[in-house]
Amino acid sequence: MADRNMVARVAVAAVAIPTLFGVVWLGGWPLALLVAAAAALGARELLGIGAAAGIRGHAPLALGAAAAWPLLAYLETTRWPESAASAAMLALVAALWVVVVLTATLARRTPQERPLEAAALTVLAPLYAGLLPGTLLAIRHASHPMRDWAGTWLVFFPLVTTWVCDSVAMQVGRAVGGAKLAPTVSPGKTWSGTIGGFVGALAVAPVFVLLVFRPLGVPVGFGAALAIAGTVGVMGQVGDLVESLVKRQAGVKDSSHLIPGHGGVLDRLDSLYFVLPLATILYHLFGII
């Protein structure tokens, strides 16, 4: 069964990663729509986890808002940059949406139907599954046009670092074992795997600088790359644990069975939900985008 699961994982990755690479390179609305679709699916899965825990969010509001966040992020980055008016309008739209969620809760939930949790889940789902991964659009298009290699690799640096971190953490944890990292949340994770994953993430940085960023003329030095990779190596694993915590409350193993061998969208993107916003911030702080 384990071997069959691994074959499914490899087969999905063999198709998904080149496809993702092509869409990221293309950029623009195709990329924005792909992220929006993933956001809606992720929000749907989070609502499903909530339902398993007895909390019924407002699905139409949550899914619509989740899909809207990446599209707004793309417009904010490419159509309304440096516009105070657009930022103020987005804040007003967000405020209005919260009012709508609370009004819907009043209309559709009784006090016995956990209205506070229903409203909170409806607000959280699009922020978690839509706003956080939507920062990928800022990385891709803050300084680079469509069909651009530099912008593509700036996106893939935190992605590849996360994938390496996860893979090394799993292999080291299985080989070395030892003390558990968070036994009540994720019993399989060990401190040895966590440290191994962090070291693996750091190892990606010089490889990218020498083989990717310098040949493309992307202004990422060793210090900045190590800082970003180190942040990814820590916070990506925190993101993984956060999703495990939520699933454990609901008593579910996977967020869904959408992706063969991988579980659901949340299961695949849990680390990236934390990694992408932080990578975006660090890219800005180091003057890279």
**CB atoms near residue 15 (< 10 Å):** 9
- Integer Cα distance of 249 and 8 in angstroms: 28
- Cβ neighbors of 27 (< 8 A, separation 6 or more) are 140, 141, 144, 145, 146, 147, 148, 151, 152
pTM for this prediction: 0.93
Cross-strand partners of 182: 186
Percent residues over pLDDT 70 in the chain: 95
Closest CA to 58 of 129, 106, 92: 106
H-run or E-run covering 203: helix 191-208
Answer for the pair 231, 279: CB distance below 8 angstroms, yes or no. yes
Split at pLDDT 50, 70, 90, the class of 196 is very high
What is the distance between the alpha carbons of residues 190 and 183, in angstroms, rounded to a whole number? 9
Write down the mean pLDDT value for the chain.
93
Contact 148, 31 (CB under 8 A): no
CB distance 272 to 221 below 8 Å: no
Q: Which residue has the tokens 């990236």?
A: 272
Provide the CA 18 distance to its chain's centre, in angstroms: 18
pLDDT of residue 3: 57
Structural tokens at position 137: 């659009």
Tokens of 218: 């992307």
The band of 12, judged by pLDDT with boundaries at 50, 70 and 90, is confident
Is the model's pLDDT at 230 over the cut of 70? yes
